Amino acid sequence: MTGTLDHSARDRVQRMLYMATGIAAAVFGLLMLSGSSGILASLTQMAPWYTALSLLVVVGLQVAIGATAFVLPLTTLHRMATVAVVGFLVVQVLWVPAMQVDVLANDGEPWLQGVNAIASTLAGVRWRTRWVWAFPVLQGLLVPIIQLQTSERTLLDAGLDGLGSVLFCSIVTGMAFSAVQAADRQDRAARDTRALASIEAARRTREREEARINGIVHDDVMSVLLTASRDASPAQVAGSAREAIAAVQQISRPASAREGGYGAAEVIAALRSVPADGAIPVAVHHSVGDCPTVPADAVEALVEAVGEALRNVARHAGVDAAVTLTLRADHDGVMAEVADTGHGFDTSAVDPLRLGLRISIEERMAAVPDGSARVESAPGRGTTVTLAWSPS
pLDDT per residue as tens, the chain (392 positions): 333 344 578 899 999 999 999 999 999 989 989 888 889 999 999 999 999 999 999 999 999 999 999 999 999 999 999 999 999 999 999 999 999 998 998 888 899 988 999 999 999 999 988 889 999 999 999 999 999 999 888 899 989 999 999 999 999 999 999 999 998 888 888 777 666 655 665 566 566 556 555 555 555 555 556 566 555 556 655 655 655 555 555 455 444 444 557 888 888 888 888 886 566 888 999 998 888 889 988 888 898 888 888 888 888 887 788 999 999 999 999 999 999 998 888 777 665 545 556 566 887 888 888 999 988 888 888 899 999 999 87
Q: What is the pLDDT of residue 4?
A: 39
* C-alpha span between 165 and 102 (Å, rounded): 24
Question: Is 3.40.1350.10 the CATH number for 264-389?
Answer: no
* C-alpha span between 165 and 115 (Å, rounded): 10
Radius of gyration of the chain measured on its C-alpha atoms: 34
Residues 6+ apart with CB under 8 A from 187: 8, 9, 10
Q: What is the pLDDT of residue 206?
A: 62
Residue 342 amino acid letter: G
Q: What is the pLDDT of residue 186?
A: 85
22 and 77 Cβ atoms separated by less than 8 Å: no
Q: What is the pLDDT of residue 196?
A: 65
Query: For residue 74, what are the CA distances in angstroms to 22, 50, 77, 161?
Result: 15, 30, 5, 35
Q: What is the pLDDT of residue 290?
A: 87
343 and 379 Cβ atoms separated by less than 8 Å: yes
Query: For residue 368, what are the CA distances in angstroms to 124, 323, 332, 378?
Result: 42, 26, 16, 27
Name 373's bridge partners. Answer: 387
Domain ranges for the chain, please list them: 2-191, 205-257, 264-389
Residue 240 amino acid letter: S
Q: What is the pLDDT of residue 235?
A: 60
* C-alpha span between 67 and 165 (Å, rounded): 27
Question: Structure pTM?
Answer: 0.56
Give the HSE-up count for residue 145: Cα atoms under 13 Å, Cβ half-sphere: 11
